[in-house]
């Protein structure tokens, strides 16, 4: 039986999935800019476009009356109508955030009807396992990031600033780092979200230092080390898949 779970509802127990139409990879939208006196064009960016997924599904009931079949389909499809993207699982290992769009036309056939359900994923990259690693106070941790697309972590710590630099922070692979000026010599609750680009100290909005950068975890092996101050950091990320 094909996996088809949307917004927490297992629709594979209600309808039969006949086919799924989606590309191998999301479409990239090359942003090309022409320059005077230069052949060709300059590539200013190559972002991924929203992803469209079409699911053809069959619903069977104990009636050949098209009106009753339509009513049964309407009851099922009504549960898929949401104001914003919801979790869509078409496989057991990854999911995308999707919203049902367009009309749902029916192809009647005796005691059943087939509908084509069109889902749009504003973020075309799928989500996989959520992972958590801990950077020990004053130490480091080495770990592997799965997936095929960069992940953006959140960091939570009871941070104690460094006495010299007046900041607390962690460094990725001896390169990029995040530093936070905690504003106190005592331990402060720091939370950093590299995806949303937010930082809070004791729950109040703040910001990372101007020389810092939001961390990005490419697939592969990485080492996160305590770079400034003390206080273990809990780092959480979701593996991403094209």
Give CA separation, 29 vs 40, 80, 115, 126, in Å.
Answer: 17, 29, 30, 18
Q: 127-138 burial by CB neighbour count: b if 16+ within 10 A, else e?
A: bbeebebebeee
Q: How confident is the model at residue 220 (pLDDT cuts 50, 70, 90)?
A: very high
Q: How confident is the model at residue 90 (pLDDT cuts 50, 70, 90)?
A: very high
Percent of the chain with pLDDT over 70: 100
**What domains lie within the chain, and their CATH numbers?**
5-124 (2.40.30.200), 127-241 (2.60.120.860)
pLDDT of 22 above 70: yes
pLDDT of 184 above 90: no
Range ranked top by mean pLDDT from 155-164, 177-186, 211-220: 211-220
* Whole-number pLDDT of residue 236: 97
Encoded tokens for 85: 């993207």
* Whole-number pLDDT of residue 186: 77
* Whole-number pLDDT of residue 82: 93
**Partners of residue 221 on adjacent β-strands:** 144
pLDDT of 21 above 80: yes
Is residue 82 within 8 A of residue 8, CB to CB? The reply is no
* Whole-number pLDDT of residue 1: 58
Encoded tokens for 218: 């490419």
* Whole-number pLDDT of residue 8: 93
Give the pLDDT confidence of 97-141 residue by residue, as tens digits: 999 997 778 888 888 899 999 999 999 999 999 999 999 998 999
pLDDT of 202 above 80: yes
* Whole-number pLDDT of residue 71: 92
DSSP string, 125-159: SEEEEEEEEEE-TT-EEEEEE-SSB-B--EEEEEE
Give the residue with greater pLDDT, 183 vs 61: 61
* Whole-number pLDDT of residue 237: 97
**Partners of residue 238 on adjacent β-strands:** 130
Give the pLDDT confidence of 45-64 residue by residue, as tens digits: 898 999 999 999 999 888 88
């Amino acid at each position: 039986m094909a996996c088809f779970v949307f917004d927490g509802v297992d629709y594979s127990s209600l309808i039969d999935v006949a086919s799924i139409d989606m590309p191998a990879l999301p479409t990239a939208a090359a942003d090309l800019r022409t320059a005077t006196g230069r052949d060709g064009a300059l590539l200013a960016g190559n972002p991924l476009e929203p992803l469209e997924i079409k699911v053809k599904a069959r619903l069977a009931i104990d009636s050949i009356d098209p009106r009753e079949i339509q009513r049964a389909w309407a009851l099922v499809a009504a549960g898929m109508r949401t104001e914003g993207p919801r979790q869509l699982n078409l496989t057991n290992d990854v999911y995308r955030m999707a919203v049902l769009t367009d009309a749902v036309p029916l192809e009647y056939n005796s005691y059943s009807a087939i509908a084509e359900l069109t889902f749009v994923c504003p973020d075309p990259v799928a989500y996989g396992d959520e992972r958590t690693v801990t950077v020990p106070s004053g130490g480091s941790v080495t770990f592997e990031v799965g997936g095929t697309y960069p992940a953006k972590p959140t960091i939570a710590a009871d941070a104690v600033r460094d006495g010299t630099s007046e900041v607390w922070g962690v460094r990725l692979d001896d390169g990029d780092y995040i530093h936070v000026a905690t504003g106190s010599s005592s331990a402060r609750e720091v939370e950093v979200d590299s995806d949303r680009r937010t930082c809070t100290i004791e729950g109040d909005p703040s910001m990372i230092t101007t020389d810092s950068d939001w961390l990005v975890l490419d697939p592969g092996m990485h080492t996160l080390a305590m770079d400034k101050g003390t206080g273990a950091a809990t780092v959480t990320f979701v593996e991403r898949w094209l």
